[in-house]
Amino acid sequence: MTIKEQIIKDSYAVLLPAFTELSLSLTIRNFLTNGGCSILLAETREEYVNREMSAERQQNETQEAIKQLIDEAKKIQPGLIVAVDQELVGINRLHVLSSNTPTRKEVKLMNPTALESICSDIAIEAREMGVNCFLAPTLDIVKGKNPWLLGRTWTTDVYELIKISAAFIKWSSKREGNCNGKTLSRIL
């Protein structure tokens, strides 16, 4: 194998293709066949901006449909990482298919045991569908105007952010899932 061929082959291991439909396109099938090891079950731009899945998606998408898609993908790539945006406060790709996440206000008032219970329930429900990675929590502090992060952060207190984010990651990961904290801006 030439160096160029090795680089192309290795690149599949670091890509995270995102798609919104619950079917494997030829492009995604080829990606997985060529060594791709992760996918993102994404939301549309409109859903992302609105921080809510569309009424059509919530009505038509089922746990079984997600599970079937993931099972099909894992036939091609058995060790597949399947990620979703399932933020504690923000976008919830699994919408009505999993337990409700608390509001920003509820998170601030919630005791650790209650937060642990919610995070664990959501992680278990996701795992039952085949989802094994949350692209969450959002680790940004916004102390000014940032439309991109509007509705996606829950505090301007760095210590509170650390405490709640660590708890979310710990409790969600206890259920054999993974969390990848993300930051989308610098601390302002």
Q: List pLDDT tens digits, range 85-130.
A: 988 778 899 999 998 888 878 887 888 788 888 888 888 999 999 9
Bond before 78 cis per omega within 30 degrees: no
| Relative orientation angle of helices 26-33 and 63-76, to the nearest 10 degrees | 40
Flag the least confident range among 15-19, 57-61, 181-185: 181-185
Go through the chain and tell me how many residues it has.
Answer: 188
pLDDT at res. 105: 83
Kindly report the pTM of this predicted structure: 0.86
Residue 55, by phi and psi: left (phi above 0), alpha (psi -120 to 50) or beta?
alpha
Give the bridge partners for 181, in sequence order. none
Q: Which residues contact 72 (CB under 8 A, 6 or more apart)?
A: 24
Q: CA 44, CA 108: separation in Å to the nearest integer?
A: 29
What does the longest C-alpha to C-alpha distance in the chain come to?
57
Does domain 3-179 sit in CATH 3.40.50.300? Answer: no
Q: Which amino acid belongs to residue 92?
A: N
Tokens 């939301």, located at residue: 43
Query: In this structure, what token pair is assigned to residue 184?
Result: 């989308």
- Identify the pLDDT of residue 188: 41
Q: Tens digits of per-residue pLDDT, 149-165?
A: 777 777 788 888 888 88
37-41, 49-53, 145-149, 165-169: which range is least confident on average? 145-149
Tokens of 36: 């791709």
